[in-house]
């Protein structure tokens, strides 16, 4: 069956589309209201919220996580549950982009760091897509091994940058907009095009929506599933390399927590954890809400454990809502 035929099959499947439209309508309206409510509360509760410095900090933080969010969207849409090797691939990108600068120069070091992070994703993809190992177990195992290798390579110490010019470039602004935010925008546009406009994107959605049907329709489901983990690893490596250049220092645990932030944004954005439904813009909308909410909590002095509790509660509500609406839509 051709891509067009497969796409037509998805559009004419009333059981699947009924649930998707309901999820789409509820999550779009709910997210928009939630974002506006957070902005309004932030403006009223803190005089710092609308200052240029605070908004630039939010945008920069959003860009680093957002690049990972783009990749993680592919993993969830293809039905890959989650990629827990993100902290390791971020550390790989951050440390190698700095550590290799004196030996091969800043640009080759940057490219090699991202490529090696992508190699970690290739291992994840082979284990998940071809061997059939559970994605949680595979990515957790690979991430632990990669992080151990990175720690051993640098002796567990902090690595510092030696090329201030690259830091200045990453921290620079274009028309007042941080360069790193523009890089995030470019990655988001590419990710959205691939997922929504290309044959690979249609295969990704088809594989996550109904693996057996996609396989019977000649979709290379194993390669598509593996590709989602490679995309996530490349995005994580790029995010880590930019983070390392921004900070001009990196330690093995620099990526800790980013996988949780990315999964939270994607799930809150309405991307189905069950696979087969979601888009990059929806995931970014979830990211905007989570980042603004976190910023308001920080400005209000909410303790870190409480912030974690609230974000965890958001994930639970989003997943429960997704499951409930889909069951109702396909009943």
pLDDT of residue 74: 96
Which SS3 state, helix, strand or coil, does residue 100 take? Answer: coil
pLDDT of residue 327: 64
Q: What is the pLDDT along the chain (331 residues), one digit of tens a residue?
A: 444 444 444 444 444 455 556 656 666 677 888 889 889 988 898 888 888 889 888 898 899 999 999 999 999 999 988 899 999 999 999 999 998 888 898 999 999 999 999 999 999 999 999 999 999 999 999 999 998 888 888 777 888 888 888 888 888 888 888 899 999 999 999 999 999 999 999 999 999 989 999 999 889 999 999 999 999 999 999 999 999 999 999 888 888 889 888 998 898 888 888 888 889 999 999 999 999 999 999 998 888 888 888 888 877 887 777 777 666 654 3
β-pairing verdict for 159-160 and 249-250: antiparallel
Question: DSSP letter at 254?
Answer: T
Measured from the Cβ of residue 24, the count of other Cβ atoms closer than 10 Å reads 17
Q: Is 66 exposed, middle or buried (0-12, 13-18, 19+ CB in 10 A)?
A: buried
pLDDT of residue 23: 59
What angle in degrees, to the nearest 10, is found between the helix axes of 179-197 and 199-209?
70
Q: Which two tokens stand for residue 90?
A: 């971020």
Measured from the Cβ of residue 26, the count of other Cβ atoms closer than 10 Å reads 14
pLDDT of residue 123: 96
pLDDT of residue 3: 45
């Amino acid at each position: 069956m051709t891509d067009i035929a497969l796409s037509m099959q998805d559009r004419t499947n009333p059981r699947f589309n009924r649930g998707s439209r309901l999820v789409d309508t509820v999550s779009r309206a709910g997210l928009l209201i939630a974002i506006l409510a957070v902005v309004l509360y932030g403006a009223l509760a803190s005089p710092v919220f609308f200052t240029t410095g605070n908004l630039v900090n939010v945008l920069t933080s959003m860009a680093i996580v957002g690049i990972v969010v783009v990749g993680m969207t592919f993993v969830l849409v293809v039905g890959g549950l989650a990629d827990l090797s993100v902290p390791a691939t971020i550390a790989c990108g951050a440390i190698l982009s700095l550590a290799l600068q004196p030996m091969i120069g800043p640009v080759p070091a940057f490219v090699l760091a991202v490529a090696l992070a992508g190699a970690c994703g290739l291992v994840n993809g082979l284990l998940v897509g071809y061997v059939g190992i559970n994605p949680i177990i595979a990515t957790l195992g690979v991430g632990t091994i990669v992080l151990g290798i990175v720690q051993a390579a640098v002796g567990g110490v902090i690595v510092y940058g030696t090329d201030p010019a690259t830091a200045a470039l990453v921290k620079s602004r274009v028309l007042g907009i941080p360069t790193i935010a523009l890089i995030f925008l470019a990655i988001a546009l590419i990710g959205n095009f691939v997922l929504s406009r290309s044959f690979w994107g249609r295969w990704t959605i088809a594989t996550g929506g109904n693996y057996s049907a996609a396989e019977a329709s000649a979709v290379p489901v194993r390669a598509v599933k593996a590709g989602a983990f490679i995309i996530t690893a490349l995005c994580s490596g790029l995010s880590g390399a930019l983070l390392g250049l921004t900070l001009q220092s990196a330690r093995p645990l620099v990526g800790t927590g980013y996988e949780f932030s990315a999964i939270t944004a994607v799930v809150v954005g309405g991307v189905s954890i069950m696979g087969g439904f979601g888009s990059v813009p929806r995931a970014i909308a979830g990211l905007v809400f989570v980042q603004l909410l976190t910023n308001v909590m920080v400005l209000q002095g909410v303790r870190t454990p409480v912030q974690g509790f609230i974000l965890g509660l958001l994930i639970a509500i989003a997943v429960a809502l997704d499951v409930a609406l889909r069951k109702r839509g396909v009943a």
